[in-house]
Amino acid sequence: MIDVLLRVGGTLVGLAMVFAFLRSALQVAVVNRRRGDWLARRVGWIAHTTLARPSLKERTFDRVQDVLAWVMPLYIVLLIVVWFVLAQLGFSLLIWSLQAEHNLLQAVIASGSALSTLGFLTPSDMAGQLLAIPEGAMGLGIVVFFFTFIPGYQSAIQLREVKVAWLYARVRLYTGKFGPIEWLLRVDSTAHTRGFWEDWEGWFRNLFETHSVAPILSFVPSVHRGQSWLAVAAAILDGSALCLATLDTEELPSAEICHITGVTTLRLLAAELAGNLANDASSSRIVSIHRADFDMIYQRMVALGARVKKDREDCWLKFNELRSEYERFVSILADSLFVPSSLLMGPLNSSRRHEGAESQ
């Protein structure tokens, strides 16, 4: 009687483990919905936590990024291992419970033979052979995931980094937080070039669609040393807030949509990486724009021929109102990604200092 109960329990546990594997694999690879898979998220948390402590010991941002560059490889390896273990143990229990193999160790070996598609040990009875077919297909599915979806992850990172490098290349001569806008004003003094804001709206949408589904992508650092996608996102939002607050024109719908899209994207990513936002409201990474900095860029906009609103005080208040919509989310993401305040305050200055240090 006890033996029967053990085998029934083994069958139920085995089916549950196989179901957990299938559910996780399908949610990661097929179901394109935000929140994704709980198991994959836990694996991502383990990968990040494993490397977070060594990252904190590094003294420079570049060294931190060198360590965090291993988060994605570690996540993929751990996820595949977890899937493999779930499927193998689940089928091992099924093989043993159905008496396809009378010894539990032999059941584990037979399960591994089928899952790895090596076929060196297949049970001789019908039940074991029937179980080997779907298990082999699942093992093949894990291999297909490895060779198919990893390039997809890399493609998402490349799409992100193309625009990051694009912006750094164009505004490296302008210091401070408002480099993108100063560059834009030199190209077009009206600063409402539709293509510019629509391109960055598309960039934010790409982050929303890829990084919210797979939050682990947020930890992948920029290809070029001294650069950060978060610093670029903050700079673009500061630029859109500045234009919306100061320019005396009604022709800024693209900038407004870009701003809304960017705020929404950073809010969702902050929620994914930090969980409870209320607990992070007082983060020390919040970087404020001082009135003197605002006055300086306001005067630069006038000098470059931009048509600005006359009431500078009202512009300042409107700018702070717009910036309050996203500055806390930038701070939360900076804490999670170990991005220093100096990079957020002036990403181009930080990049140039880095290059100077490298050349010495």
User: Does residue 216 lie within any of the structural domains?
Assistant: yes
pLDDT at residue 152, as a whole number: 79
Looking at residue 35, what is its pLDDT?
A: 63
In a domain, 154, yes or no: no
206 and 308: one domain?
yes
Does 353 map to a domain?
Answer: yes
Together in a domain, 231 and 340? yes
124 shares its domain with 198: no
Residue 151 has pLDDT above 60, yes or no: yes
167 inside domain: no
Q: Is 360 helix (H, G, I), strand (E, B) or coil?
A: coil
338 and 258 both lie in a single domain? yes
230, part of any domain = yes
Domain that holds residue 135: 2-147
Q: Are residues 92 and 226 in the same domain?
A: no
Asked if residue 179 and residue 116 are part of one domain, the reply reads: no
Examine residue 155 and state whether it is found in any structural domain, yes or no: no
Say if 161 falls within a structural domain.
Answer: no
Tell me, what DSSP letter sits at residue 255? H
Same domain, 94 and 197: no
Residue 121 falls within a domain, yes or no? yes
Whether residue 232 is found in the same domain as residue 348: yes
Number of folded domains in the chain?
Answer: 2
Share of the chain above pLDDT 70, in %: 84
Tens of pLDDT, residues 292-313: 888 888 888 888 788 889 999 9
Q: What pTM does this model have?
A: 0.79
Phi-psi region of 176 (alpha: psi -120 to 50; beta: other; left: phi over 0): left
**Are residues 131 and 24 part of one domain?**
yes
* 161 against 188, higher pLDDT: 161
Q: Identify the DSSP state of 310.
A: S
Backbone conformation region of residue 275, classed left if phi is above 0, alpha if psi is from -120 to 50, else beta: left
pLDDT of 317 over the 90 cut: yes
CB-CB neighbours of 43 under 10 Å: 24
The pLDDT tens digits of the residues spanning 51-110 come to 877 776 666 777 888 888 888 889 988 999 999 999 999 999 999 888 888 888 888 998
Supply the angle between the helices 71-97 and 2-29 in degrees, to the nearest 10. 150
Looking at the fold, whether 31 and 135 belong to one and the same domain comes out as: yes
